[in-house]
Structure 1
Amino acid sequence: MKNLFSYASLVALLAACSGPSQQEKAQAAADTPADTVPTAATAVELPVPYATESATKRSKVIGWPAGRTPVVPAGFTITEFAGDFNSPRWTYVTPNGDVLVAESNTVPTDTKKRIAAALKLDTSKSLKSTSANRITLLRDTNKDGKPDVRETFLADLNQPLGMLVLGNYFYVANTDALLRYAYQPGQTKITGPGQKILALPAGGYNNHWTRNLLASADGSKIYISVGSGSNVGENGMDKEVRRANILEINPDGSGERVYAAGLRNPVGMDWAPGTTTLWTAVNERDELGDELVPDYLTSVQQGAFYGWPYAYFGAHEDPRRKGEQPALVKKSVVPDVALGPHTASLGLAFYDQKTFPAKYQNGAFIGQHGSWNRSSFSGYKVVFVPFSNGRPAGKTEDFVTGFIANEDSKEVYGRPVGVTVLPDGAMLVADDAGNKVWRVSAAVAGG
């Protein structure tokens, strides 16, 4: 069958329906001054909106050739922990040390994207007609760094991502609901029925279907990340109820409140070691140019507003929402660490073990999936942000690289997403496009 559409043409059609005109771009650039926004780790110079044209550059995933792996710094080793998955997007370690892998992906809901998925026109492997919708259990019984038990832990889900063991329950965040199941440590599969304890808003822009979970230290609260249903509220804010937020609930699903708002697509969440401060990695908005808007890592202040959709990186008003909510623009919190524009910063894990060298201990690792809205590739790596006394303490550094095969031909081997620290001090990197989970270990234990 001859393809009647190309994925690029479908994207162009969609963009033509919602993008600003050249006159609107010029006016926005004239109205918006350049600024320099200091963060705790670096100083970030932000250009005016539309200083460059909004670009589209989608990767072509070619998979990992035999013998090739991602690249890690000297003193570290990276190996394949497990492979042969179907979009392994997120990992979680149970209290007894089992590794759970959520296999799920974007499933298009509109006609054009369904056609693209059916014809396999999306070479970046973000769009697929179906999702595996399962959680796989891996167990390394002999502690050799390779699992020797592999079981389907839970199946027939709906785009699962976040996982959590709390008390005698296992929780999983589907795109549209939070479920919990009876659970005992060591069991290799869930056999009992699940209970839906909270409905979640589903559908939306690109990959904002993911719902992550994190428990408070005392287990009294669960935090749920819910991304926006649009790029910048273009479908109306009545469609964004309970979205672009981190929600807080009790373990039984009651007592819901918005813990923090204005976070376009918060996915990774974690607690900074030795503190009670929640941090999140946020995937920011598109179509303001190559250098806007930086994705970011930020501490999350209870009750705070982080700008979306009216402002970005503090009180920088988005020209597409000009004059709508000046009070919210003014109160928008400046994030702590800029992670680069269009990196798709999604994964987050603080290093709370001791086997990595001292400089990495208590610091943050961020999985950057790579985005489409830049003329050159951004992301496609895991980066590290050093911390001291619970605060960012240095420049962001590349840590796991080598995912890009050839930028000129747009080829990549895989795309990193979730990052998880293991009890033995190694770190896992979920590669949903390469269908592998990688294990990073230190050659010599740190101190």
Structure 2
Amino acid sequence: MNIQRVVCWLIVVVLCPFAQAVDSRIEVMAGLTLSEFADVPNARQMAQTQSGDIVVGSRKLGKVHGISEQGEVFVLADELFMPSAVAIDSQNRLYIAAVNSIYRVDNLDRIFEQRKPVSRLNVLADGLPDASHHGWKAITLSPDESTLVVPVGAPCNICLVHPESGQQPFGTILAINKSKLDQGQLAYDLMATGVRNSVGMDFHPKTGDLWFSDNGRDWMGDDMPPCEINRIPQSALTKGNHYGYPFIHGHPQKGGALEPQDDIRARMPDKQFINPLVEIQAHSAPLGIHWYRGSGEQAMDALKGALLVAEHGSWNRSSPVGYRVSAYWFDRNHEVTEHKVLVDFLTDNDDKLGRPVDFLELANGDVLISDDAGNKIWRLSAATADKQ
């Protein structure tokens, strides 16, 4: 990346987000500031190129957008089936996960220079389950980039899923062999089973454990069952341990519950389930999660070591919950030591001013937050005297 590209990108990152005033009803934790970074329709998962450009998936639109170094938003790919998930490897190759297909896009720098949709996508695999119910993806690369981590949600609110049903790998998190995938072969190990709908994952930067969110089932009341944050230890990344769905929801000793449907509960396997580490208010819908590294020159010191959680917000509840960004801190035993709300998009009158989806930490320590309902990408940063 040459000096001109660096200067242009810094101008966009520093100046453009403050062009519009943020609704004063959005509550932001003291010491932090929220600003608008870009307008992107139906913004879901984000990834950053080696040159600093940004790629954003969408779910409903079937498009993938790019944000150039000058801040111009353009359609990078179109006419895809819920291409919510994007990831970029160290070779600057873009991976897009739609419902049943995974694509790869090369030559990203040239694409961003032209700012036109890719004429032809490289289809690496199209053998994933094609059910659209919870079929949209979130993907992440393992730290050594040997694996593309892809969850496959349950195709229902509540039903038997793999391996109990003998069907396709619904209700799982897959570790897809990236080397084979690049050759057009879909080969994977099971990282987790019994996962209803995970739309957020991140490897802990020190331990290598994979943490992931999971959305609880609907129609059990306003406060049941809890949504979850789970952990796969680095030593168990390919063991396929069972995290409870559809037989048990949440932690049975900490507010969880057995599945009330007799026909499902009767099929409960004789095995140990892995309990969640965090139970979140039912229907809050935690999606993206991110371990805040905070290594940049403008790092938010108050957030170092925190797990950021995007609570997308409820639909199956008499009064809304979620619609906020939370942070959790843990001790060495993975017990929660502190919880804070960083950004609250839900007003006292239940107006929903945003639905956070995913995080992207910039090199300077700021964090971008995608918002698929507000069609925006927000920027969270440390407050300075002139921002307060």
**Which band: TM-score by shorter chain?**
0.7 to 0.9
Instruction: Tell me how far apart the structure 1 counterparts of residues 366 and 333 of structure 2 sit (CA, whole Å).
Output: 21
For 1:136, the aligned partner's letter is H
- Over 3 Å counting, the alpha-carbon distance change for 1:299 and 1:67 in structure 2 is closer
- Over 3 Å counting, the alpha-carbon distance change for 1:399 and 1:135 in structure 2 is same
Q: Is the Cα contact below 8 Å between 1:405 and 1:412 reproduced in 2? A: no
Instruction: Tell me how far apart the structure 1 counterparts of residues 167 and 246 of structure 2 sit (CA, whole Å).
Output: 10
Aligned pair partner of 2:320 in 377, 390, 397: 377
| Structure 2 portions without partners, runs of 5+ | 1-19
Match of 1:266 in 2: 198
Match of 2:337 in 1: 394
More deviation, 302-311/260-269: 302-311
Report how far residue 327 of structure 1 moved: 1.0
Match of 2:189 in 1: 257
Match of 1:367 in 2: 310
Match of 2:56 in 1: 101
SS at match of 2:46: strand
TM, length-normalised to structure 1: 0.70
Match of 2:152 in 1: 226
Report how far residue 335 of structure 1 moved: 0.6
For 1:346, the aligned partner's letter is L
Match of 1:242 in 2: 169
Q: Is the Cα contact below 8 Å between 1:229 and 1:239 reproduced in 2? A: no
Q: Is the Cα contact below 8 Å between 2:299 and 2:365 reproduced in 1? A: yes
Q: Is the Cα contact below 8 Å between 1:229 and 1:240 reproduced in 2? A: no
Q: Is the Cα contact below 8 Å between 1:96 and 1:186 reproduced in 2? A: no
Instruction: Tell me how far apart the structure 2 counterparts of residues 66 and 185 of structure 1 sit (CA, whole Å).
Output: 32
Q: Is the Cα contact below 8 Å between 2:59 and 2:136 reproduced in 1? A: no
Aligned length, in residue pairs: 341
Aligned pair partner of 1:311 in 221, 224, 248: 248
For 2:364, the aligned partner's letter is D
Report how far residue 382 of structure 1 moved: 0.8
More deviation, 175-184/233-242: 233-242
Counterpart check, 1:92 vs 2:35: no
Counterpart check, 1:288 vs 2:213: no
Instruction: Tell me how far apart the structure 1 counterparts of residues 347 and 206 of structure 2 sit (CA, whole Å).
Output: 36
Aligned pair partner of 1:193 in 121, 127, 131: 121
Counterpart check, 1:406 vs 2:332: no
Instruction: Tell me how far apart the structure 2 counterparts of residues 176 and 89 of structure 1 sit (CA, whole Å).
Output: 17
Report how far residue 239 of structure 1 moved: 8.4
Report how far residue 389 of structure 1 moved: 5.5
Counterpart check, 1:214 vs 2:140: yes
Q: How does 1:112-123 map to 2 (within 5 A)?
A: none
TM, length-normalised to structure 2: 0.80
- Over 3 Å counting, the alpha-carbon distance change for 1:240 and 1:293 in structure 2 is farther
Q: Is the Cα contact below 8 Å between 1:416 and 1:429 reproduced in 2? A: yes
Report how far residue 351 of structure 1 moved: 0.6
Report how far residue 241 of structure 1 moved: 2.2
Match of 1:337 in 2: 278
Q: Is the Cα contact below 8 Å between 1:306 and 1:332 reproduced in 2? A: yes
Instruction: Tell me how far apart the structure 1 counterparts of residues 335 and 360 of structure 2 sit (CA, whole Å).
Output: 19
Counterpart check, 1:416 vs 2:356: yes
Q: Is the Cα contact below 8 Å between 1:274 and 1:390 reproduced in 2? A: no
Q: How does 1:70-219 map to 2 (within 5 A)?
A: 70-83=26-39, 85-105=40-60, 132-140=61-69, 148-166=71-89, 167=91, 169-185=93-109, 187-188=111-112, 190-205=118-133, 208-219=134-145
Per-residue CA deviation, residues 249-281 of structure 1 (Å, 9 max, x unaligned), is 111324312111101101101011212100101
SS at match of 2:270: helix
- Over 3 Å counting, the alpha-carbon distance change for 1:415 and 1:386 in structure 2 is same
Q: Is the Cα contact below 8 Å between 2:45 and 2:56 reproduced in 1? A: yes
Report how far residue 390 of structure 1 moved: 8.8
Q: Is the Cα contact below 8 Å between 1:368 and 1:383 reproduced in 2? A: yes
Q: Is the Cα contact below 8 Å between 1:347 and 1:366 reproduced in 2? A: yes
SS at match of 1:153: strand
For 2:323, the aligned partner's letter is Y
- Report percent identity of matched pairs: 28
Coordinate RMSD, CA, aligned: 2.6
Q: How does 1:29-108 map to 2 (within 5 A)?
A: 67-68=22-23, 70-83=26-39, 85-105=40-60
- Over 3 Å counting, the alpha-carbon distance change for 1:232 and 1:430 in structure 2 is same
Match of 2:9 in 1: none
